[in-house]
Amino acid sequence: MTAFTYDKSFEGLLCCVFYAFEQQVTPDILLHSDDVKPLFLEKSFPIVTESEKSARVWSALEKKISPSACHMLMLVWISELPEVDLLLFRYIYKAFKSTESIELNFGDADVLACANIYKKVNQSCHKAIQFVRFQKTSDGVFFAPISPDYNVLLLVAKHFSNRYADQPWIIYDTKRNYGLYYNLHKTTEITFSESPVDNSGKLKAEQLDSEEQLYQQMWKDYFKTMAIKERINLKLQRQHMPVRYWKYLTEMQ
């Protein structure tokens, strides 16, 4: 068994690809430099991350595959799933090796696996866009806590700064403890030393705008009223709006 060890960064991964082509060797596993080496390891190659090499691989890749495929690879990386680096390695390796585009070859297990992970991360983005709930604070900033399955906050930032261009807002990822603050001009990354919200994602009452609770009440009442009792179908509701999103949903509290 052959292993590459690297720093587990995306640039590092691209350097692994570089090394594989340069030395004509492919890894069976990718390890972090500090990882304990498994038994039965025959060879291990330490890969050093060099931005020059990674940039060369990336620009070659951009020529080889379409922009949408590049975007897909980025989202697959963001998934942070175990062994996703090896999957990406194989995808990129195959893309370079193949004389024709592999992007639509869904008969290939790696291509299909990438497409499926991409779909999941994309769905996570979409869920964030759907289920963000802002609370208006006394200083006029609209605040929303989220805890998405994947680290998608930066991916959805543009949607919110476009849509809510005339209101300052903060979207805060409580799981990863960082957030984005939009001040009508630009979006910046922020971190609070202690969580600004309680477990149900609520700000303290004194932090809220005087009308905030009334609007929350209206939304809750509206939500309850809209259900047609002859058609109750809780399973369908959960299918569209999984329970793990409920904790920050005003109408489900």
Partner 1 sequence: MVKESTLEKLKILADAAKYDVSCASSGTTRGNPNKTLGTAAGWGICHSFTADGRCISLFKILMTNHCIYDCAYCSNRRSNDLKRVAFSPAELAELTIEFYRRNYIEGLFLSSGVIRNPDYTMEQMISVVKKLREEHRFNGYIHMKSIPGASQKLVNIAGMYVDRLSVNIEIPTEESLKKLAPEKDYLSVWKPMKYIKQGILENTEDRKKFRKTPRFVPAGQSTQMIVGATPETDNQILTLASKLYNIDSMKRVYYSGYIHINQNDDRLPALKQPPLVREHRLYQADWLLRFYNFQVNEIVNDANPELDLEVDPKVSWALRHPEFFPIDVNTAPYEAILRIPGVGVLSAKKIITARRYGRLTSYQLQKIGVVMKRAKYFIVCRELPVSTVNEVSPETIRKQLIDEKIKEKDRFQLSFTFD
Instruction: Write out the residues near partner 1 by the rule CB under 8 A.
Output: 102, 104-109, 112, 126, 129-136, 142, 144, 159, 162-167, 211, 214-215, 217-219, 221-223, 225-237, 239-241, 249-251
Q: Helix, strand, or coil here: 244?
A: helix
**Cβ distance 49 to 12 under 8 Å?**
yes
Q: The tokens 């700064």 sit on which residue?
A: 161
The nearer residue to partner 1, 63 or 185, going by C-beta atoms, is 185
* Backbone dihedral angles phi then psi of residue 163, each to the nearest 5 degrees: -70, -45
Closest CA to 156 of 42, 241, 78: 78
Torsion sign across C-alpha atoms 178, 176, 124, 225 = negative
What's the min distance (Å) between Cβ of 166 and partner 1? 5
What's the min distance (Å) between Cβ of 17 and partner 1? 22
Residue type, 72: M
Tokens of 78: 């963001």
**Nearest 10 degrees: CA dihedral of 116, 121, 124, 130?**
-90
What's the min distance (Å) between Cβ of 245 and partner 1? 10
What's the min distance (Å) between Cβ of 189 and partner 1? 20
The nearer residue to partner 1, 54 or 137, going by C-beta atoms, is 137
Angle 35-36-38 from CA coordinates, rounded to 5° = 120
**Cβ distance 31 to 4 under 8 Å?**
yes
The nearer residue to partner 1, 3 or 102, going by C-beta atoms, is 102
What's the min distance (Å) between Cβ of 211 and partner 1? 6
What's the min distance (Å) between Cβ of 145 and partner 1? 12
Other Cβ atoms less than 10 A from the Cβ of 91: the count is: 23
The nearer residue to partner 1, 138 or 217, going by C-beta atoms, is 217
The nearer residue to partner 1, 18 or 118, going by C-beta atoms, is 118
The nearer residue to partner 1, 89 or 134, going by C-beta atoms, is 134
Q: Provide CB contacts within 8 A for 203, sequence distance 6+.
A: 135, 137, 143, 196, 197
Question: What span, in angstroms and rounded, lies between the C-alpha atoms of 211 and 219?
Answer: 13
Question: What span, in angstroms and rounded, lies between the C-alpha atoms of 13 and 19?
Answer: 10
The nearer residue to partner 1, 13 or 180, going by C-beta atoms, is 180
